[in-house]
Amino acid sequence: MRRGDLIFVFTPTVQKVSLISFLVSSSRVESTKNKPVLFFAVCGLANLNNRIVGGQDAPAGFWPWQVSLQRPSHFCGGSLINSQWVLTAAHCFPSASGVNVVLGLQSLQGSNPNNVSRTITTLIVHPNYNSNTNDNDIALLQLSSPVTFNNYITPVCLASTNSTFYSGVNTWVTGWGNIGSGVSLPAPQTLQEVQVPIVGNRQCKCSYGAGSITDNMVCAGLLEGGKDSCQGDSGGPLVIKQNNRWIQAGVVSFGRGCALPNFPGVYTRVSQYQTWINTQITSNQPGFIAFTSTGTDSDLSVSCSTTTTTTTTTTTTTTTTPITTTTTTTASTTTKPTGKIFY
């Protein structure tokens, strides 16, 4: 268990699948180079995405906040939240050394004329991240220099503290992860998208056990299985549309296998972290928007016929020094893979 913000500083030279949708403004996102930015005014606009439901391959520019984290190949996703900060999952980062953040990317292979690459100068892992329970699985990355916004690189809005996500509300998740447990995304490894409904926390606890799903998590997927995020999608965004804005509701965190019946994907609930994020990013703060579900939440009437519990114990000690990082961990003998955590 990590106690205290982990801030790793580097010199500038150091170098699940199925996933989103939203009707958006047709106006072009204005370049922010050399201009002060009100990120609420530009966040969540995907100018090239004008459809309501999606397929599998995501066309270029449909999800302009999606980033690929590479060392040197892709290992996790993330989302751009202002011109110089990326939101991702804490479990992706035992270290930020040698990581490149690639934006404006459509496929992992072949030509990508709109891509931009940055290194990481600062990694901030949530002080209460628990690698054993996956609680508070969230981290922030500061880019080596700001990026300029365009149709292919735009920040996403974030769900504010008072957001509500009722069971059955449709969301989208995107990433370059596996298309099934142990099945890699085939060449040219084009960004994938899938629509998945919210599964209320009560229902999700019926599957994972009451102690495994906390208020800091949100679940999404089909209870019959078949659609989910998977290994390699970790850290990527779970988003939802409201009016003409995309709002990030979750960060891909963990699950049991991929797209298995009765085991929806589990995501870090972004709305729980507005204060923490704004405490870390003190200038050009991200745009937060409240997502409000309508009607009655069917999850309130859910009760489990049986209860499953999971008990694990982990002790983690982390040592941090400027320029380089050293992490020493004493833990259980089970090693979790890079990317979405499996059980």
Summarised one tens digit per residue, pLDDT across range 330-342 is 233 233 334 454 4
pLDDT of residue 291: 97
pLDDT of residue 184: 83
pLDDT of residue 230: 80
pLDDT of residue 115: 95
Kindly indicate the confidence band of residue 67, based on its pLDDT and cuts at 50, 70 and 90: very high
For the chain, domain boundaries: 6-330
Q: Which one is catalytic: 5, 135, 137, 228? A: 137
Summarised one tens digit per residue, pLDDT across range 197-229 is 999 999 999 999 989 999 999 999 998 888 888
Task: Please tell me the CATH code under which domain 6-330 is placed.
Answer: 2.40.10.10
Kindly indicate the confidence band of residue 27, based on its pLDDT and cuts at 50, 70 and 90: very low
pLDDT of residue 309: 43
Phi, psi of 205 (to 5 degrees): -65, -30
Query: Is 137 annotated as catalytic?
Result: yes
- Name which of 11-15, 43-47, 86-90, 279-283 the model is least confident about: 11-15
Q: Which one is catalytic: 68, 144, 229, 234? A: 234
